[in-house]
Structure 1
Amino acid sequence: YAITASGAVSADYTISYVPGNLTITAAPLTITADNKTKAYGAALPALTASYTGFVNGDTQASLTTAPTLTTAATATSSVAGSPYTITASGAVSTDYTINYVPGNLTINTLAVTVTADAKTKTYGDADPALTYQITSGALAPSDSFTGTLTRATGESVNTYVITQGTLTLNNNYLLTYVPANLTIGKRAVTVTADAQTKAYGTADPALTYQITSGNLVASDSFTGSLTRAPGESVNTYAITQGTVALNSNYVLNYTGANLTITKRVLTITANNQNKVYGSANPSFTASYSGFSGGDNPSILTSQPVISTTASTGSGVNTYPITVSGAAVANYDVVYVPGTLTVSKAVLTITADNKTRSYGLNNPPFTLAYNGFVNGDDMNSLSIQPAATSTATTTTAPGNYPITVNGAASANYSFNYVNGNLTIIAVNGTNVSNLTISSGILSPAFTPANHNYTTSVDNGSDNIRFTLTFDPTATVKIHGLTAPNGSSSAGVPLNAGNNTITIVVTAQDGVTTNTYTVTVYRGEPATAITATNILTPNGDGKNDTWMIGDIQLYPKNSVTVYDRAGRKVYFKQGYTNDWDGTLKGEPLVQGTYYYTVDLGPGLPKFRGFITLLRSN
């Protein structure tokens, strides 16, 4: 700048002015970044600077360009990185030489106060969530609490401190905790007694109850029992709480009910009775079921009346026995009718005994009755009985039942007593014919002749008889029963005479008719011999030539020869009748030769015979 001089006054001097120059150099200016502080999470404060060196009344506004203040810190920079440098730069002024001095940004921990919320719960319930509120300060964006609150232990009714537990914030905060309480209140439970009933005289039912509001916790249980007002008669009795209780953690409310004693059922049953048709009614009785304890029919204020519609004359059937009219306190009376069964009377029907002779028709059968009642007789039967016998005209003598049956009646059962039919035997023993299996009867059979003879050869070792006799009689031949009209069993024969007795016994078992048959059985064919002498002189001895049993061999042939071999006699079917003649003329005395042939298949024999004549 020009420096000019002027205005000098001096008498002495003529003043001349020569201008000079004033040089102004830039003044030093120190710009110092002001130190700053902020709480964690808060916005950065305004960065300011302090100026040292302004002159002439200059201020920050005197700067051509104000300085720029910066720091690396942000709103979320942690306390741990504090302090952060605040730098100033960029100021422009022609009048100043600028020197910058940095400042510091200090981030302090953020004070946060949390206050626990007071909580309550009912005994037995789960704990509510333990919550809290920030009552001072605030969290930086995206920051959060960790951990949870806790409380003092215990589940009974009481007040329990809610403590900070593990609740915390990071190192950028100063956390202050204000506690509260969890209060556990009593649990309300209402029990309601169950209404009960019982019949008079029975034991009390269990007095029970239901939880009708609330519930019990875990293993908690009631103690004690309900009681009821005393009394056993029919009535209503209050059921009271008695000693039922819960522990001190509960408020127990009780709602009562009643035990109703109802009338007991007393069943009076008319006893079933029986009687026979026509008899008087029996005494009626009853049975009792349902009396309690020592009660018995004597406590009835009115005894029951038992009756029936049946009378003495009532027919076979069933009739109700009714019972009614009983009265008794504490009981409801139920009546059960009985039954009077009128059974059939027993009517005995007896067949009268009868007698007849064999061969006659049965006589009419008659009956006798015993047991009719109420003036009944046989006409009261719906079906009349019938008497019968199995005997017929040809039934053998003896005793035969006369059976009676077939009667019917609604009011009678029947006892049948058989009668007896006696058939008297007859005395017939007549034999109308008699034949034999071998030989010929002599004489021919006639019923009047009782003795007969016959002869058979030795080959017949038995003989059979066929008789036709009175059918009412029986026959035994030689002790064995013989049939009528057919062959008997064989009667064994010995050689020689056999006397066989035939006994005919009448039906009466007393009358008999006996026949005798003498059967001659010849010797064996090998034992037959002829006499060796013939003396036909009429003295009855050896008058004819005799060959033993020759008549038993009707197919025999006999030949006689003289000493010259001439045939002097021949006969088939010889019958011991040769008298020593030839063609009616006497043969001369002497010895003759003979042959005997007994028949086909039978032995032959020969020999000599001497013919003698009287002088």
Structure 2
Amino acid sequence: ITATGASDANYEITYVDGSLSVTQAGLTITADNKTKAYGAPVPTLTASYSGFVNGETAADIDIPPMLSTTATAGSSVAGSPYTITATGASDANYAISYIDGTLTVTGSSNAVLASLELDPNIYKTGVAGSNYRDYTASVSNTTSSLRLTATAQDPTAIIRINDVVVASGIPSEAIQLAEGVATTINTVVTSSDGTTTKTYSIVITRKAASNAVLASLELDPNIYKTAATGTNYKDYTASVSNTTSSIKLTATTQDPNATVKINDVAVVSGVASEPVRLRSGANTINAVVTAADGVTIKTYSIIVTRKAGTNALLDVLVLDPNIYKTTVAGTNYRDYTASVSNATSAVTVTATTQDAEATLKINGDVIVSGTPVAIPLVAGVATTINTEVTAADGTTIKTYSIVITRRPANNALLTSLVLDPNIYKKGVAGANFKDYTASVSNTTSSVKITAITEDPNATVKINDDVVVSGTPVSIALGVGITTINTEVTAADGVTIKTYSIVITRKMGTNALLSSLVLDPNIYKKGVTGANYRDYTASVSNATSAIMVTATTQDPEATVKINDVDVVSGVPLSVSLDMAINIIKTVVTASDGTTIKTYSIVITRAGVNSARPSENLAIVTPVDNQEIATTEVTVSKAVS
């Protein structure tokens, strides 16, 4: 450093040079922190500078620093962070210091498997499905388990096989495969950064076994069975006494997954069946084994012969209602008698054999032991009920006979007593069980009466005539009072009840004739007169008498011809005098008051008055509705 230019009169100035020392500026180089995903290349390393002066930058440094790290592309997340070091920088103007940086390795989003292997080496087929990858595979029945080896592309990914975490590339524990069932094995891969999950699903079917063989087939009680020739996989025969009524079978399969049925009833392998009932004679018991494949079937058949029994006895013989039966001597194994009231119309017989193999017949009908049988009882009749028991041997027979007498009924009542037409009958006091009165018009000349008994075995008489219950009987009604007695006799033959109906038929007012006929058939001419009807007629001298027939419309009306009582429709002979003859027909209605007179004036000619005869067909004149048909034929001798 040079000093010059100083001046002072008092001083002699001399100069001595000095020196200026320039030291290095401090420069700090800091390695920048970096981040990379696992498996990714190491990023470019950079540094930051602090301390440049005079506008200088990193480009002005004489020798730039070298940046390095121990991390590589494969460095794990677990080893993170890794140091980034800056070294080797040089510049005369700067005193350089360094600060290390870090490289942080983060987890990968890769959840893909590099490989998925089965052990044993089973071929798997890719199929469509809902997972990232879906496969199916099939193994033989002998393959009861397998292992999976899943290798991730990213070794830091997490692998779970059926929810169990496994290491990438390391076989899983053995996975059991059920027979005949589809087993699903899911391999779930989760990326190391936890953001990605992928599922690999394999559905493996283990074929069912075809083993339908029994390891053993035992009988309880311990009956010896003999192998026999037959159509089944195994056939046996065995024999038991009659006292052995059932046996149990225990079938044990070689394959625990095979199923067994004994006589179509499923049983558990190695467990005794329910008792199989043995009837007298040959009994076939089939043990059918079905392999786990559901296809292979083997039948083990045992024919067990139970000797026939000789027991033909009844355990119980019960009547319902509980009727007391008396033991009597008879030709059967057991003979009984019993008596019931008339109200008991049927009994139920229940016979139960001591030997379940024995058969029953009740009155000839085959019946299952212990089954109630209804037997109808007829009133007043002894009903025989024979229960025949045949032992299992088919030859021993015992008969239990019950003779039950149902008392006859004392029911002499009617359920209905009906009149047709439907005439109102009024109950009145009287000497009979029931007394009625009724009234009908004169036009009702008859009624039908129908009596129905409560007891079908009761008998009925209507006016002493036996009739069938429910059968209509026609009764004629005369004018005035008609009594109809219905007598009911109960089945006991003693009890009698009488229903009496007194019907009054009103008198008629009909005094008309339906016809008034003359014989010979003389023409009569209607004329005006004082009577209800007036006629005139003329006959020859040769006609000395005439037959008059008057028929009433009402059969109850009475008739007089010339004061002589006649029956309606019955002819009356009337003598004819010479000249004029008056024939009066007086009709009195059944009421006794209504009277109508029909008058015919007949002129008989003298001896010399004959003239040629002629046939005349005469039609009755006006108002002839009372005389329905009147044709008169007049002889040629009539003048």
- Give the TM-score band, short-chain normalised: under 0.3
Structure showing the higher strand proportion among its residues: 2
Output the TM-score relative to the length of structure 1. Answer: 0.27
Output the TM-score relative to the length of structure 2. Answer: 0.27
| Higher gyration radius (CA) | 1
